[in-house]
Chains A and B, each alone.
Chain A
Amino acid sequence: MEFELQLTKRFSIPNCHTLEVALNHGAYRSFEKLFSMKPEAIVNEVIASKLRGRGGAAFPTGLKWSFVPKDTALPVYLCVNADESEPGTFVDRYILEYDPHLLIEGIVCAAYAIKSHDVYVYIRGEYVRPYMIFKKALDEAYRSGFAGHNIKNSGYDVHIWIHRGAGAYICGEETALLESIEGKKGQPRIKPPFPAVEGLFGCPTIINNVKTISHIPWIIEHGGEAFARIGTSESTGTMLFGISGHVNNPGFWELPFGMRVPEFLEKYAQGVKGGSLKALFPGGTSTAVMTADECADLYLSYESMRAHGTMLGSGGLIVMNEHADMLHALRTITRFYAEESCGQCTPCREGTFWIHRLLEKMVRGEGTTKELDLLLEIADNMEGKTICALAAACAIPVRSCVVKFRQDFEKYVKPVFVPVAAAAEKMLGDDAVPF
């Protein structure tokens, strides 16, 4: 498999976070071409590349950029999402640490394309070292004219500021991120209006993931069509795939889309640790779990994941071996969503809370078969009824785990027959009636 690395090409070069080393290895090379092109032409290249957002939702990037109102009198903002908090996801920080100048280069390219002069990079609060390294690189870039006023005598200004989060998964959701920059609690906004029209400080705003932005310099240098030839028809380019959990060699690799999951598991993660494969979350915990059988013909592409009823999400695979207990695993997952729900929407706030409480009960051996079905019922009532996708992100693993690994749960619950169930419900009171 021959392909050119785009995001990690300089990762193995020592001290590449310094401007001098980065420049010696091709950083900021796209600027010459960038400033010779019209912003609209850049957007067209990105459309031609078929690049899709790497933050999880996989929305076509060029299309998103084209939603910025033409000739608006308001300032246009670009926000870079480095909140990276989806369980199983851990690669964006390495771009900040190992090649911060790639991200800065991408930011200038993207800002120029959407006619923005003001950029905020939202870095999750826990990432102290990535923040420090990125900040230092940014200072260097400013001093040498690669960011700030009149970049490399182009006449174009791009001001870049870092905004640090402070511990809240929900701030990765794009409108919560905007609220958080504005100094508020990170609670998602109702859409429409979409941020491209009315976003940060009421102005048109584009939000993109770190990886998405870091692809842009390559696309400018090589053209959108060249990018579209890498990977599969619907999943173009390369992607940083991370893998964690029960594998012998957890880590991350940049690969073109389209590799078969078992091949990725064997060749890169060096096989399942401690037994054979039982289950796998393909893209963080917010995606439907896959059984070992389903993984056999699952490919690392958006279309293959969709055909299997799941999603590639953030590209963070989580592996469980045959000894993993799905009830305990799911309890861990639902606690995350119950903790991280921002609490605005009743189905999400109550649903995540009750699902987690029911699972806790099952772990204690106090659950019933009926409550196993109740889990599914609550999950069904959470989706499509909320402001943001966090509620669905919890419902999806719950439903897929309970349906596909029901026997794991049945080991813990006691069957309750209908008349007894009614009595139990009475006894349990609130516990059995979540809404």
Chain B
Amino acid sequence: MAVQFSEAALKEYEEIVTRYPDKKATLLPALWLAQREFGYVSDEVLEYIAQLVGMPAVKVYEVAEFYTMFHKKKPGKYHLQLCQTISCYLRGAEDLRSYIQETLQVLPGETSADGLFSFQLVECLGSCHTAPVIKINDEYYDSLTVEKLDAIIRHLKKNSSGEDHGV
């Protein structure tokens, strides 16, 4: 089989197994681990996880589909998750959406041509008092305006190009 966990990840998985009386319960933590290792959970990865956990591949596939945070395809270097739920909507989330779609030329579910930004509309991120909110990879960006978001995006673009030149 082509994909496989690293030694370190396998060790981590062995520890996870000890937390539950039933191995099937390790599926979500295993998927998280896989996403961390491989960046996303392709069909190939899901088959590997099915073997590891000891479940039919279709079950694993169903579960990975059910939860919105597991990426089935490679996300951009920066994964933009824009909250569109009520408190963010009331404080201007729609303007942020237009800004992203126009400046980065991506629609929800898409990745920008340069592979830098992927865009996803999400529901309440649990930070309604700092609306509108965007989560970029694991970090929350609070109380945004179009100007603030613009500055963040510019910064990310600059950062990534800087890295490229550095190589």
Contact-size category for A: 35 or more
Q: Is the CB of B22 within 8 A of A201?
A: yes
Q: Does A167 contact B (CB under 8 A)?
A: yes
A128 near B138 (CB under 8 angstroms)?
A: yes
A223-264 Cβ-contact flags toward B at 8 Å (1 or 0): 000000000000000000011111000111000000000000
| A375 contact set on B, CB distance < 8 A | none
Query: CB-CB < 8 A to B91: which residues of A?
Result: 245-246
**Is the pair A244, B129 in contact by a Cβ cutoff of 8 Å?**
yes
Binary interface encoding of chain B residues 59-94 relative to chain A, with 1 for a CB under 8 A from any of its CBs, else 0 = 000110011111000000000010011110111000
Q: What separation, in Å, do the CA atoms of A93 and B125 have in the docked complex?
A: 11
What residues of B have a CB within 8 angstroms of the CB of A243 in the complex? 129
Task: Tell me the bound Cα distance from A201 to B25 in angstroms.
Answer: 9
With contacts A127-B126, A128-B138, A168-B67 taken as known, whether A244 is within 8 angstroms of B131 at the C-beta atoms is yes
Residue interface mask A114-130, B partner, CB < 8 A = 1: 00000000001111110
Which one, A90, A181, A245, A281, contacts B126 given CB within 8 A?
A: A90
C-alpha spacing A339/B123, complex, angstroms: 9
| Given known contacts A316-B128, A339-B123, A182 and B86 CB-to-CB distance under 8 angstroms | no
> Of residues B81, B85, B89, B131, which shows the largest number of chain A Cβ atoms within 10 Å of its Cβ?
B85
Task: Determine if A163 is an interface residue (Cβ-Cβ < 8 Å).
Answer: yes
Q: Are B130 and A87 in contact (CB under 8 A)?
A: no
Residue A183 CB within 8 A of the other chain = yes
* Chain A residues within an 8 Å CB radius of B32: 125, 164, 166
**B62, B90, B124, B138: the one within 8 Å of A246 (CB):** B90
The answer to whether A184 and B63 have CB atoms under 8 Å apart is yes
Residue of A at shortest CB range from B129?
A250
Residues of A within 8 A of B128 (CB): 87-90, 242, 244-245, 250, 316, 318
- Contact of B123 with A285 in the complex, beta carbons under 8 Å: no
Interface residues of A in 282-317 (CB under 8 A from B): 285, 316
From the candidates A166, A180, A184, A316, name the one contacting B69 in the complex (CB within 8 A).
Answer: A166
Q: When A181-B25, A246-B90 are in contact, do A166 and B67 touch as well, CB less than 8 Å?
A: yes
A23 at the interface (CB under 8 A from B): no
Q: Does B19 contact A (CB under 8 A)?
A: yes
Residues on A with C-beta less than 8 A from B140 are: 129
How many Å from the CB of B34 to the closest CB on chain A? 12
- The smallest beta-carbon distance between B30 and chain A, in angstroms, is 9
Taking CB atoms and an 8 Å cut-off, the chain A residues in 182-231 that contact chain B are 182-186, 201
B115-143 to A contact mask, C-beta < 8 Å, 1/0 = 00000001111111111000100111000
Q: Cβ of A329 and Cβ of B86 under 8 Å apart?
A: yes
Alpha-carbon separation in the docked complex, A250 to B86 (Å): 14
For A84, what are the chain B residues with a Cβ–Cβ distance below 8 Å? 126
CB of B27 closer than 8 Å to a CB of A: yes
Name B143's closest neighbour in chain A (CB-CB). A250
Asked if A55 lies at the interface with its beta carbon under 8 angstroms from chain B, I say: no
A127 to B127, CA, bound (A): 10
- Can you list 15 A-B pairs with a CB-CB distance of less than 8 A? A84-B126, A88-B124, A89-B124, A126-B126, A126-B135, A127-B126, A129-B140, A161-B20, A168-B67, A184-B27, A186-B67, A201-B21, A242-B128, A243-B129, A246-B91
